[in-house]
Amino acid sequence: MATVQVSEAEKVYILHGIRDDLRVDGRSCEDYRHMEIETDVVSNTDGSAKVTLGHTVVLVGIKAEIGKPRPMVPDEGYLEFFVDCSANATPEFEGRGGEELGTELSNTLYKVFNNKRSLDMKSLCISPGEHCWLLYVDVLLLQCDGNLYDAISIAVKAALFNTKIPRVHISADDEGGKEIELSDDPYDCVRINVENVPCIVTLCKVGHRHVVDATLQEKACSVASLIISVTHKGTVTCVRKVGGGSLDPESIFEMTEAGKRVGKALHAPLMKLLQQEESLGKKRQKVGFLG
């Protein structure tokens, strides 16, 4: 993970600021940095989104493929996550440097997204026990400036919203053999319901208080953080503690409450933005990577 060196004096300065609900960049403790979202940025995927949060840049692409359902749940499709920590983000990721982080991130993503409460997995099933859609969610870290979890979760949600799965029909012949037939109209596709897809809110314990969307400097002052995934209704679906330090039960409770509050507030503008973008259709000016 990308780290910065923070001197003792700086630490004290940051700590004192947070104590007074005033962070180095002028935010209060529950404020996010400026965020930019663009969907449909990679044409050869079925759904994609790019999220910029401060200087953190995350690109998510989703490819839908036809696979075999898992034997335990024959009538459901499933998701596969892969996080690529590109050496573009930080030189530390070069070679196998980003592997550990990537695995950690993708394991969390499995926990958060790959269950039937977040997504209607049954809608991904084509024919029970034989064919289902398999969504490969590929996350590419382009720049690291703290708070990767939140940025990735928002990008995944946006990309799922954007995903268009080609419509297929199962044609059965007299002998009972089944064949998948593809619609010849490229506009004929299925969308995924993302209503219940949660977002992750990471809360960093700094001193006695906790902050949302910590920068790298703030992170360096923190001993432990709590990862909370929250749905649009404010339901917490997953909580994880990361970092070496310890958290007392009382502050965990406080942090959870704060996470619910922030998460709920995060969903509404996100969905509004996504729908707005969608309604522009073809007229939308694409910004892409050069914008």
> Would you list the DSSP string of 104-169?
HHHHHHHHHHSSTTTS-GGGGEEETTTEEEEEEEEEEEEE--S-HHHHHHHHHHHHHHH-EEEPEE
Is residue 103 part of the contact set for another protein (CB under 8 A)? yes
Residues 54-93 that bind another protein (CB under 8 A): 59, 61, 63-66, 80-82, 84
Q: How far is the CB of 276 from another protein (least distance, A)?
A: 20
- Residue nearer to another protein on the CB measure, 173 or 248: 173
Give the residue among 257, 262, 256 at the shortest CA–CA distance from 241: 256
Distance of closest approach, residue 106 Cβ to another protein, in angstroms: 7
- Across the strands, what pairs with 127? 131
Cα(209)–Cα(222) distance, integer angstroms: 10
Using CB under 8 A, which residues numbered 233 to 262 contact another protein?
A: none
> Burial, 283: exposed, middle or buried (Cβ in 10 Å; 0-12, 13-18, 19+)?
exposed
Helix (H, G, I), strand (E, B) or coil at 21: coil
Smallest distance from another protein to CB 81, Å: 8
Window of 12-20, 182-190, 230-238, 246-254 that interacts with another protein by CB under 8 A: 182-190
Closer Cβ to another protein, 48 or 225, answer by number: 48
Residues binding another protein (CB under 8 A): 41-46, 48, 59, 61, 63-66, 80-82, 84, 99, 102-103, 106-107, 110, 136, 138, 140, 166, 168, 171, 173-175, 177, 179-180, 182, 184-187, 289-290
